[in-house]
Amino acid sequence: MEDEKWARAAGAIEAAMGKAVAQGRRRRAKVERDKAKARAGAADYEPGIVTFIDVLGFRAMLIDRSAGEIHDIILSLREFTTPDVKQFRRMKEVRLSSRAFAESVSDAVVRVRVFNTQYSDGAFFQELLDLLHIQIQCINHGVLVRAGLAIGSVHVGLNGSGPVFGPAMVRAFDIESGEAIYPRIVVDEAAYEQFLSDARLHNENHDLEEETEYVNRLLRIGEDGTRFIDYLGASEDEYDAFEDYIAFLDRHAALIRLNLAEVRKPTIRRKYLWLASYHNDIVSQIRLRFEAGELSAVNFLALVGREAADVLGELIVHF
């Protein structure tokens, strides 16, 4: 009787162990399948907003600045342009909403924001706003950037592990190197047209008119018909206090004056002359707002302790 009891117990234990082993094998097989799917997904092109960013005047820096200074500039650019990336194991987890990734080499950074996601959070606006913040931070650290933005097929990998490549990256590079010319982030016209027609680039809680209004607040069309991020005009809304915005414009003016005083090569000097013209136009628009009563000169005097007209006059870059 005891032998039968022990035999039944041993059989039950053996069956339980067999079941546990089988379950373990199934779990391992599922993990391997998920990994295979992730690898397959990561190897594909996907639609993305790609921005190729370059430091303006980097070749001159190699001659005029120390390795330590250049090192700090490159690290600052990487810090400003690289978003926080949470690690995921499956493509469906990492593509819940639009996410930005960045890859850098020397003074160049490629940013990719994927937008073929489960939730549409306004990827185009989000990327433009991030780029606006990047420009503000670069200016505050004495760095000017030039960039091109395109939309199209790109490979970025599951968690942005790269390598980054694809037609959209090539187009972004072509814009930066051949069309942007001046220190600005140029938006490909085809990218803007795709934004208007592709719902994946919109915030799903906004209609097209509302989304377009948000986007257009960040953009400006230059005299050459080029659409670019209006970082001087749009940055006003990013400061809590108007006097802080004026201080930013003052730093911007000082940076332009410094480069105009140092640069002699005509092709490079033209870039800073364009920047001075853009800067002065923004200052002139602010002056008109004071004259129209949209901004209060009395309040400005109380806050800053100086007349608005005097401060704005000092912000003009003469060339």
Q: Residue 75: pLDDT band by 50, 70, 90 thresholds?
A: confident
The 10 Å Cβ neighbour count of residue 269 is: 15
Q: Residue 1: pLDDT band by 50, 70, 90 thresholds?
A: low
Among 173, 208, 175, which residue's Cα sits nearest to residue 189?
A: 175
Q: 85-89, 100-104, 122-126: which has the highest mean pLDDT?
A: 122-126
Least confident range of 35-44, 174-183, 206-215, 263-272: 35-44
Q: What is the mean pLDDT of residues 294-303?
A: 95
Q: Indicate the pTM of the whole model.
A: 0.81
Residue 139 or residue 3, greater confidence: 139
**Long-range interactions of 226-229: CB distance < 8 A, separation 24+:** 226/179, 226/180, 226/184, 226/186, 227/186, 227/187, 227/189, 227/192, 228/180, 228/184, 228/185, 228/186, 228/187, 229/128, 229/131, 229/132, 229/135, 229/184, 229/185, 229/187
Residue 93 or residue 98, greater confidence: 98
DSSP state of 296: -
CATH T-level topology, domain 42-235: Alpha-Beta Plaits (3.30.70)
Q: Residue 179: pLDDT band by 50, 70, 90 thresholds?
A: very high
86: helix, coil or strand?
A: coil
Among 55, 82, 80, which residue's Cα sits nearest to residue 69?
A: 55
Res. 80: pLDDT tops 70: no
Please give the structure tokens belonging to residue 7: 């035999």
Among 308, 184, 271, which residue's Cα sits nearest to residue 234?
A: 184
Q: Residue 2: pLDDT band by 50, 70, 90 thresholds?
A: low
Q: Residue 22: pLDDT band by 50, 70, 90 thresholds?
A: low
Please give the structure tokens belonging to residue 230: 């209006």
Q: What is the mean pLDDT of residues 199-228?
A: 96
Contact 185, 230 (CB under 8 A): no
Least confident range of 30-44, 185-199, 304-318: 30-44
Query: What residues form DSSP beta bridges with 228?
Result: 186, 220
| Domains in the chain: boundaries | 42-235, 239-315
Share of the chain above pLDDT 90, in %: 63
Q: 12-26, 31-45, 96-110, 304-318: which has the highest mean pLDDT?
A: 304-318
